[in-house]
C-alpha cells in the first residue's frame, strides 16, 4: 500500500478522481488498479499543518518581550502541530504508521512551499519509509496519470525543501527580533502598538514610503506651451512649438504669449516629415506576476484575489500551476497547443481570431525554451477547455486573459508607422507633431483591451512642402506633476524588480533571474500583510503609506533591514540553495549574525529618534496592539494609590478585587481615543492636556478630562469651566 499526501483536500480529490475510490474521514481509499496494484490512501494537509514553535518553547524567559533577551537565536529550529489542524495530522500519522504501508508519495504543490509542508508532516510523524515525488503542473486526468507513471526520486527535489526551510527559519529570526526590538523601543517613547517588521515586508514598505515622501516633497512648477492647429486644405492637425534642442516648455508666460501672438493667422509649411516603421512582437505568456499586474490594471483585482481565482481554475484542471515564475514552456507543452487552440476556436469569444497566422510556435524561442523553464512552465490553458461563458464572472475574466495570451502568441506582430512632422510658421517658428498609423493590427486584435492606454494621435497624410496656415494658436499653462502612487499591480512588479520599477509589458526579459522581494507565491500575501498591519491603505487601486508605516521606515532609516537590494541578494542565495549550489547551514549562520546586527542597529538609532512630527493618537493600531498592552501599568490610581492598568477596552485599578477600588477610564470617550499618556496625566495632576476632537451629535469640540474627587471618576470639562475649577 502507498500513502499519497496532497497539500489540500480538493487537490487530493482531484488526484484520486482517475481511479475507483471511496471517501473516508480525512482520506480517500483508492481501490487496487494498474497504477496502484495494492490500492492506496490519498490524504491531505490543510495548508501548513505544522508551524515553527514560539520563542518560549526554546526558553521560558523569551515569552516576555524584553530588550534584555534580544536577539532570540535558537540553536536549532523545532516545529509543532497547529492545534486547529491536529485532527487531520493524526489521520495522516495513523496512515503512515500502518504496517501495510510501504511507500509515501509526496504530492504537495510542485514548488518550494509544497515541498516544505509535506516533508515537515512526514518528519513530525517520525516515519522513515521510502518516498517518491509527484511533480505535475496541471490537475487534468491526463497530467495526473502521467505524473504517477513517472514519479521522481525524493532526492531530486530535496534541495527545494532545504530552500523553503531556510526561508521560513530566516523569516522567523529576522521577523521575531526586528518586531520585538522596534516595538519595545517605540513603547519607551509612549507608542503602545506592535510594530511587525520582516525580511520581505519591510523593504517592500520602504518602497511605498519612499514614493509617498516623493509625492509629499514635490512642488509643482508652472510652465507654458504654445499649441497650434494647422489647416492645410481640408486637413487639420495639431503641433507644439519647440526650441532647437527639442524643448517645448516655456517658463516665461509673457514669452509664450508673444510666440502665440506672432503665429496667429500666419502661413505655415510642412518643412520635414519623418516616418519610422516599428514592429511589436506578441507579449510573452503569463507568469504569476505579469498575470497579477494585468488583472489589476484591467479589473482592479488585488494580487491576492488574482492568485485565488487562478488557483481555483488550476484545481478545476483548467489552468496550469499558477505560482510559476516562468514565461516559457518546453517542447512537450508546445505540442499540446494545437489541440487546446482547436477547442478554443469553437467558442464564440475566440472564433473571430481564427484561423491563426501561425499553426505552431514550437520552434519559436520567444515562447518555447527549456533552459528558461524553472520549476514550472508559463501559465497556460490545459487541454480541459471549459465553456468559457459558463464560468463565474471572475473565473471567466482570468481564464480569458490566459487564453488570449496563448492565441496572441500565434498571431503576427503588430506594425505601426510612427511619424514626426515639423511645421514652419512664417519661416521662423517650428512646431512638432507626432502621431502613428497602424499598418497591421496582428496580435493586438486579440489583446486590444490590454493595449487601450495608447493615446498617440493619428495624423493625416502629409508631405514635405505642403502649405497652409495657422488655424488656431494659444499659450496653454500646465504644471509639473508629482510621481504617481503605485497600483497594487505595479507594486507586485516593483517587488519582483527589487525596487527598479519598469512599466513595460516585456518585463520577463529583465526578470528571468530571481532578484526580487519574495517569490511568485508570497508577494500577494506580503501586500495583504502590509494592509492588515495598517502600514498601507489601498484606495481606488492606489497604494498609500499610512503614518504608522512611515513611522516604522523612518525609525529603521537606511539600515540593512529596509534594503531591497539586500533582500534581493538573499532571494538569490535561497534559490541557489534550492538548486544545490549553496549551503543552507552557511546561509543560516549569516542570518543569525544579521539578527544581532538588527538589534544593535535599532538600539543605537533609537537614541537619535525624533518623533515629535507624529500624531501618536492618530496612528492606526493593529489587532495585536491591545493584546500586547493588556495588563501593563499606565499610572498610579488617584483614588487608592494602586496600579491603574490596561484592561483592553478601558484602564482600571488593579485593586478592584483586593479593596473594591472601582476607578476606571474608558479608552474611547465621545468618539475620542484616550491614550495611556492622557490617562497618566489625569491620574498625576487631576487634569489632562487639552484633547481635540470630541464628538457629540453633529458637534465637534475640544475639552479636558478632569478628575471628579467626589465621584472618583473622570469627566469631560470644557476649557473655560476647567480653568475656573483648576
- Pick the range with the lowest mean pLDDT from 70-84, 144-158, 285-299, 628-642: 628-642
Contact 502, 510 (CB under 8 A): yes
pLDDT band at 621 (very low <50, low <70, confident <90, very high): low
pLDDT band at 619 (very low <50, low <70, confident <90, very high): low
Q: Across residues 262-281, what is the average pLDDT?
A: 96
Res. 538: pLDDT tops 90: yes
> Could you report the per-residue pLDDT of 388-403, keeping only the tens digit for each?
999 999 999 999 999 9
Q: Across residues 94-104, what is the average pLDDT?
A: 97
Res. 507: pLDDT tops 60: no
Q: Across residues 285-312, what is the average pLDDT?
A: 95
Q: How far is CA 126 from CA 46, 90, 120, 121, 122, in A?
A: 19, 12, 10, 9, 7
Q: Is 321 a catalytic residue?
A: yes
Q: Across residues 332-347, what is the average pLDDT?
A: 95
Contact 221, 193 (CB under 8 A): no
Model pLDDT, residue 677: 83
Model pLDDT, residue 340: 96
Which of 120, 132, 140 lies closest to 50 in space, CA to CA?
120
The more confident residue out of 190 and 355 is: 355
> Could you report the per-residue pLDDT of 558-584, keeping only the tens digit for each?
888 888 777 777 878 888 899 899 999
pLDDT band at 190 (very low <50, low <70, confident <90, very high): confident
Res. 632: pLDDT tops 80: no
CB contact burial 304-323 (16+ within 10 A = b; e otherwise): bbbbebbbbbbbbbbbbbbb
The more confident residue out of 492 and 613 is: 492
Res. 249: pLDDT tops 60: yes
Model pLDDT, residue 630: 67
Res. 505: pLDDT tops 70: no
Which of 103, 110, 116 lies closest to 37 in space, CA to CA?
103
Res. 698: pLDDT tops 70: yes
Contact 341, 410 (CB under 8 A): yes
Cell of residue 477, nine digits: 499653462
Question: Which one from 301, 321, 535, 704 is the annotated catalytic residue?
Answer: 321
Model pLDDT, residue 521: 80
Q: Across residues 514-540, what is the average pLDDT?
A: 87
pLDDT band at 506 (very low <50, low <70, confident <90, very high): very low
Question: Any idea what DSSP says for residue 607?
Answer: T
- Pick the range with the lowest mean pLDDT from 335-349, 500-514, 675-689: 500-514
Inter-helix orientation angle 86-96/112-124, to 10°: 70
pTM: 0.80
Res. 441: pLDDT tops 60: yes
- Rounded-to-integer distance, Cα 519 and Cα 140, Å: 25
Model pLDDT, residue 191: 85
Model pLDDT, residue 119: 97
For 462-618, strand residue ranges (E) read 467-479, 536-539, 542-545
pLDDT band at 722 (very low <50, low <70, confident <90, very high): very low
Q: What is the mean pLDDT of the chain?
A: 90
Res. 648: pLDDT tops 90: no
Contact 282, 413 (CB under 8 A): yes
Res. 508: pLDDT tops 60: no
Which of 159, 118, 172, 99 lies closest to 8 in space, CA to CA?
118
Give the distance between the most distant pair of CA atoms in the chain. Answer: 101
Three-state SS sequence of 462-480: CCCCCEEEEEEEEEEEEEC
Q: How far is CA 86 from CA 55, 93, 104, 665, 725, in A?
A: 21, 10, 20, 41, 62
Cell of residue 152, nine digits: 521522481
pLDDT band at 512 (very low <50, low <70, confident <90, very high): very low
In the Cβ-directed half-sphere of 720, how many Cα atoms lie within 13 Å? 1
- Pick the range with the lowest mean pLDDT from 170-184, 404-418, 640-654: 640-654
Q: Where are the alpha helices (DSSP H) in 347-434?
A: 393-409
pLDDT band at 696 (very low <50, low <70, confident <90, very high): confident
Res. 726: pLDDT tops 60: no
Classified as helix, coil or strand, 304 is helix
Amino acid at each position: 500500500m502507498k500513502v499519497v499526501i496532497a497539500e489540500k483536500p480538493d487537490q487530493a480529490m482531484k488526484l484520486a478522481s482517475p481511479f475507483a475510490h471511496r471517501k473516508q474521514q480525512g482520506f480517500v481509499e483508492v481501490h487496487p488498479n494498474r497504477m496502484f496494484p495494492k490500492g492506496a490512501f490519498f490524504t491531505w494537509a490543510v495548508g501548513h499543518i505544522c508551524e515553527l514553535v514560539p520563542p518560549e518553547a526554546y526558553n521560558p524567559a523569551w515569552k516576555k518581550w524584553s530588550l534584555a533577551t534580544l536577539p532570540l537565536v535558537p540553536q536549532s529550529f523545532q516545529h509543532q502541530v497547529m492545534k486547529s489542524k491536529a485532527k487531520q495530522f493524526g489521520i495522516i500519522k495513523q496512515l503512515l504508521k500502518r504496517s501495510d504501508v510501504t511507500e509515501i508519495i509526496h504530492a504537495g504543490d510542485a514548488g518550494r512551499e509544497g515541498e516544505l509542508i509535506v516533508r515537515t508532516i512526514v518528519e513530525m510523524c517520525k516515519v522513515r519509509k521510502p518516498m517518491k515525488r509527484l511533480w505535475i503542473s496541471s490537475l487534468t486526468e491526463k497530467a495526473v496519470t502521467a505524473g504517477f507513471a513517472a514519479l521522481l526520486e525524493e532526492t531530486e527535489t530535496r534541495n527545494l525543501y532545504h530552500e523553503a526551510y531556510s526561508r521560513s527559519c530566516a523569516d522567523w529570526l529576522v521577523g521575531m527580533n526586528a518586531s520585538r526590538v522596534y516595538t519595545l523601543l517605540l513603547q519607551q517613547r509612549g507608542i503602545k502598538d506592535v510594530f511587525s517588521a520582516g525580511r520581505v515586508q519591510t523593504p517592500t514598505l520602504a518602497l511605498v514610503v519612499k514614493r509617498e515622501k516623493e509625492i509629499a516633497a514635490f512642488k509643482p512648477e508652472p510652465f507654458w506651451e504654445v499649441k497650434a492647429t494647422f489647416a492645410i486644405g481640408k486637413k487639420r492637425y495639431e503641433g507644439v512649438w519647440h526650441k532647437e534642442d527639442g524643448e517645448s516648455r516655456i517658463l516665461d508666460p509673457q514669452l509664450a504669449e508673444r510666440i502665440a501672438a506672432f503665429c496667429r493667422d500666419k502661413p505655415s509649411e510642412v518643412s520635414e516629415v519623418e516616418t519610422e516603421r516599428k514592429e511589436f512582437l506578441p507579449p510573452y505568456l503569463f507568469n504569476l506576476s505579469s498575470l497579477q499586474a494585468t488583472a489589476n490594471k484591467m479589473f482592479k483585482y488585488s494580487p491576492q484575489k488574482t492568485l485565488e481565482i487562478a488557483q481555483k481554475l488550476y484545481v478545476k484542471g483548467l489552468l496550469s500551476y499558477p505560482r510559476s515564475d516562468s514565461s516559457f514552456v518546453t517542447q512537450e507543452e508546445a505540442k499540446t497547443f494545437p489541440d487546446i487552440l482547436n477547442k478554443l476556436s469553437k467558442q464564440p469569444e475566440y472564433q473571430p481570431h481564427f484561423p491563426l497566422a501561425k499553426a505552431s510556435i514550437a520552434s519559436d524561442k520567444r515562447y518555447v525554451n527549456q533552459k528558461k523553464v524553472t520549476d514550472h512552465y508559463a501559465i497556460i490553458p490545459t487541454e480541459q477547455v471549459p465553456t468559457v461563458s459558463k464560468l463565474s464572472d471572475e473565473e471567466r475574466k482570468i481564464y480569458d486573459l490566459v487564453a488570449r495570451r496563448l492565441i496572441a502568441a500565434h498571431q503576427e506582430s503588430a506594425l505601426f508607422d510612427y511619424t514626426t512632422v515639423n511645421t514652419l510658421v512664417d519661416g521662423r517658428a517650428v512646431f512638432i507633431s507626432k502621431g502613428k498609423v497602424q499598418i497591421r493590427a496582428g496580435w493586438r486584435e486579440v489583446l486590444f483591451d490590454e493595449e487601450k492606454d495608447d493615446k498617440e494621435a493619428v495624423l493625416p497624410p502629409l508631405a514635405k512642402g505642403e502649405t497652409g496656415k495657422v488655424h488656431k494658436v494659444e499659450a496653454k499653462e500646465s504644471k509639473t506633476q508629482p510621481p504617481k502612487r503605485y497600483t497594487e499591480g505595479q507594486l507586485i512588479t516593483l517587488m519582483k524588480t527589487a525596487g527598479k520599477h519598469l512599466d513595460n509589458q516585456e518585463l520577463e526579459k529583465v526578470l528571468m533571474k530571481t532578484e526580487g522581494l519574495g517569490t511568485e507565491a508570497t508577494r500577494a500575501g506580503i501586500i495583504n500583510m502590509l494592509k492588515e498591519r495598517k502600514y498601507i491603505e489601498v484606495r481606488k487601486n492606489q497604494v498609500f503609506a499610512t503614518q504608522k508605516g512611515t513611522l516604522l521606515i523612518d525609525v529603521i532609516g537606511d539600515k540593512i533591514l529596509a534594503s531591497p537590494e539586500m533582500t534581493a541578494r538573499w532571494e538569490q542565495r535561497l534559490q541557489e540553495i534550492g538548486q544545490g549550489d549553496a549551503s543552507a547551514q552557511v546561509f543560516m549562520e549569516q542570518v543569525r549574525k544579521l539578527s544581532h546586527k538588527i538589534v544593535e542597529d535599532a538600539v543605537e538609532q533609537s537614541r537619535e529618534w525624533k518623533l515629535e512630527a507624529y500624531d501618536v493618537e492618530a496612528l492606526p493600531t493593529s489587532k495585536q496592539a491591545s493584546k500586547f498592552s493588556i495588563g501593563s501599568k499606565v499610572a498610579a490610581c488617584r483614588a487608592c494609590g494602586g496600579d491603574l492598568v490596561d484592561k483592553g477596552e478601558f484602564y482600571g485599578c488593579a485593586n478592584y478585587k483586593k479593596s473594591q477600588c472601582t476607578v476606571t477610564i474608558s479608552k474611547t470617550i465621545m468618539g475620542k481615543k484616550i491614550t495611556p499618556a492622557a490617562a497618566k496625566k489625569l491620574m498625576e495632576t487631576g487634569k489632562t492636556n487639552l484633547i481635540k476632537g470630541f464628538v457629540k451629535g453633529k458637534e465637534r469640540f475640544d475639552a479636558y478630562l478632569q478628575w471628579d474627587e467626589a465621584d472618583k471618576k473622570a469627566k469631560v470639562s470644557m476649557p473655560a469651566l476647567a480653568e475656573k475649577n483648576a
